[in-house]
């Protein structure tokens, strides 16, 4: 084992430090965020920081740097109040990655990257037709993280469009069966293979493996 | 595709909604967070919300509910100012999951779950010997998310202890080679298999696959 100290990190070139530090948190979620401004200009951006905030109310968050290449996304969200989160799967991860290029404001990344915008009725922001799990989100709050000039975007789930077979009896969604990918660092894309679902942990009782062959849900 | 609307989510039982909503963000990072209070009582908690905040300065965040079963972790962090983040790998994911049980404050989850605390010299918080990537963190700020009574814990990386072979020339850490797992929902644990590393995206230039056979880094 090698120990990298603060000074070792400080001595790295910027891109090397970015590669290194982006791997530290472990595997990251792979999502593209769809928005539309008031002139019907669409925007799509890959984001690896979408994070679960709570299930009641159903809240998701993500981290954004207001002055970065993804600023159009944040501007559209603040303008319209809504956005979509779309899980990235193996069949379109290259196109999803391509959305991180610096396109100008009047270019739709859907069009530039070969992805298809679709709409849930009455919802202003486009979702990605190629995605097997799409979420309509309503902005709740933009919380500034002042120490590094980023922000946590907090939103509430308004709707979820997903292949029903993936939703199990207990509510668990088999996102692996949807081909959803995980990201490492800035640019690593990974398939997954489930090792186990584990039972709710209790003191003095060993965890058991749950049966993963549950039937699909009939809500 | 089935559309689950707000009312469908509201109608779910709490545990079903928790299972469902916890799957929406995609794959989650698998880490255990090590802390120690001023009476040398250790604590270890599995957290699936560790997220990259920025690489310069190197900041990581995670989400915590101050009044939940993990509150001892937050209390220790606020008391001591330091904690460790340890990537969970396949060889100890069952023990890591077991740390989510409701142990009383005077029980060390290291001991109760069969994991080994070790110390980086002078650093107050224990790391997990079984983990192949351990990070020493200094608390920067606890940011309340008032709409759902959670908080974003912001910290700065002080040191990283990792198998050197996993660190590539460009700074990328091959966390897959370390056996690091990804989490789905509340209880799904997954191995990964890299599909590709993709080049930095530019407009009007298709992304290429990077060579993943880079030699290990010699800092």
Helix (H/G/I), strand (E/B), else coil: B12: coil
pLDDT of residue A212: 58
Q: Which residues pair with A167 in a beta bridge?
A: A173
* B27-190 CATH choice from 2.30.29.30, 2.10.25.10, 2.30.110.10, 3.30.428.10: 2.30.110.10
Chain B residues with CB-CB distance to A53 below 8 A: 63, 145, 148, 150
Helix (H/G/I), strand (E/B), else coil: B13: coil
**pLDDT value at A157 more than 90:** yes
Chain B residues with CB-CB distance to A31 below 8 A: 25-26
Helix (H/G/I), strand (E/B), else coil: A111: helix
Among the residues of B1-80, which ranges form H helices? Answer: 6-11, 14-21, 71-80
**pLDDT value at B218 more than 50:** no
Nearest Cα of chain B lies from the Cα of A204 at a distance, in angstroms, of 8
Domain boundaries, chain A: 22-190
C-beta atoms of B29 and A27 within 8 A: yes
pLDDT of residue A213: 52
pLDDT of residue A77: 97
**pLDDT value at A215 more than 50:** no
Kindly state the helix (H) or strand (E) to which residue A72 belongs, with its residue range: helix A71-80
Cα within 13 Å of Cα(B160), Cβ side: 28
**pLDDT value at A217 more than 50:** no
Q: What is the pLDDT of residues A127-144, one digit of tens each?
A: 999 999 999 999 999 999
Of B172 and A212, which is predicted with more confidence? B172
* Fold classification of A22-190 (topology level): Pnp Oxidase; Chain A (2.30.110)
Mean pLDDT, chain B, rounded, equals 94
Spell out the residues 6+ positions from residue A108 whose beta carbon is closer than 8 angstroms to its own: A41, A42, A43, A44, A117
Q: What is the pLDDT of residues B181-201, one digit of tens each?
A: 999 999 999 999 999 999 999
Q: What is the pLDDT of residues B110-151, one digit of tens each?
A: 999 999 999 999 999 999 999 999 999 999 999 999 999 999
C-beta atoms of B154 and A147 within 8 A: yes
């Amino acid at each position: 084992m090698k120990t990298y100290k603060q000074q070792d990190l400080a001595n790295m070139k910027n891109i090397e430090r970015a590669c290194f530090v982006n791997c530290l948190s472990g595997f990251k979620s792979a999502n593209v965020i769809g928005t539309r401004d008031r002139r019907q200009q669409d925007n799509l951006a890959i984001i690896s920081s979408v994070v679960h905030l709570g299930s009641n109310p159903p809240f998701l968050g993500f981290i954004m740097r207001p002055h970065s290449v993804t600023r159009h996304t944040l501007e559209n969200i603040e303008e319209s109040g809504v956005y979509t989160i779309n899980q990235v799967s193996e069949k379109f991860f290259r196109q999803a990655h391509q959305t991180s290029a610096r396109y100008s404001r009047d270019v739709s990344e859907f069009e530039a990257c070969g992805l298809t915008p679709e709409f849930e009725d009455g919802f202003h922001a486009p979702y990605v037709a190629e995605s097997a799990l799409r979420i309509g989100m309503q902005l709740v709050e933009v919380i500034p993280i002042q120490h590094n000039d980023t922000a946590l975007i907090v939103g509430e789930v308004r709707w979820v469009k997903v292949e029903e077979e993936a939703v199990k009896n207990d509510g668990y969604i088999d996102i692996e069966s949807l081909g959803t990918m995980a990201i490492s660092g800035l640019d690593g894309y990974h398939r997954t293979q489930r090792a186990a679902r584990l039972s709710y942990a209790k003191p003095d009782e060993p965890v058991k493996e749950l049966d993963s062959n549950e039937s699909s849900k009939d809500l």
